[in-house]
Structure 1
Amino acid sequence: MAEKLSITLPTEMADAIKARVEAGLYGSTSEAMRAAVRALLRDEEEHEERLAAIRARVRQSLEDPRPSLTGREVRKHLNSLYAKHQS
């Protein structure tokens, strides 16, 4: 099933679509618009997946039972690791 929509695009976007159709990249402006919407939906889905992964890592970090370290403690630990690798 298909639904007809009427949209208004800036001249630059309309010209870009027409140029791609004329170049044979798409069979019609409708085909080009469908490809654009598919790309938009895919990008939004990937963005949501990235956000979910970030949220999971933040949640995991907040729930980490290990004690929190101060910046000074972290620096001291990193310096000791660096010194070991310099030996």
Structure 2
Amino acid sequence: MRTSKPISVTLGPLQASVNRRLASGQYDNASEVLRAGLRALEREEAALDDLLRQKVLASMANKKPNIPAEAVFKRLEARHARKVKASKRDA
């Protein structure tokens, strides 16, 4: 018994990739190719989520004092102004 209903998708240029994989004999049908692709996408997303989670945890563990947003923007604006001034001077 089927647990999901069939869907129709338009693959465009990706159809050639599906066809190559079918021709290689690695997969029996297009559904297997697409399921493998979705599993790979889920692994990639999980790895990215893990990486971002690690970065957030490392950032939260950092004992350096936080810099207020106003101070950051003030420094960025000053840096931008210096670059604009330098580019006008060099022009």
Q: CA deviation at 1:3?
A: 3.0
Q: How far does the alpha carbon of each residue in 1:45-85 deviate from its partner, in whole angstroms, 9 at most, with x for none?
A: 11101100000001111xx2x78xxxxxxxxxxxxxxxxxx
Structure 1 pair 3–50 and aligned structure 2 pair: CA distance change class (3 A)? farther
Q: Which residue of 1 aligns with 2:34?
A: 33
Match of 1:2 among 1, 4, 7: 4
TM-score (normalised: structure 1): 0.66
Output the CA distance in 2 between the equivalents of 1:39 and 1:17: 15
- Which runs of no fewer than 5 residues in structure 1 stay unpaired? 68-87
Moved over 2 A (4+): none
Q: CA deviation at 1:2?
A: 2.0
- Superposed CA RMSD in Å reads 1.9
Output the CA distance in 1 between the equivalents of 2:58 and 2:31: 41
Higher relative contact order, structure no. (Cα contacts within 8 Å, ≥ 6 residues apart): 1
Q: How many corresponding residue pairs?
A: 64
> 1:1-87, aligned counterparts within 5 Å?
1-11=3-13, 13-61=14-62, 64=63
TM-score (normalised: structure 2): 0.63
Report the residue type matching 1:38 in the other structure. Answer: R
- Which runs of no fewer than 5 residues in structure 2 stay unpaired? 66-91
Secondary structure of the 1:21 match is helix
% identity of equivalent residues = 27
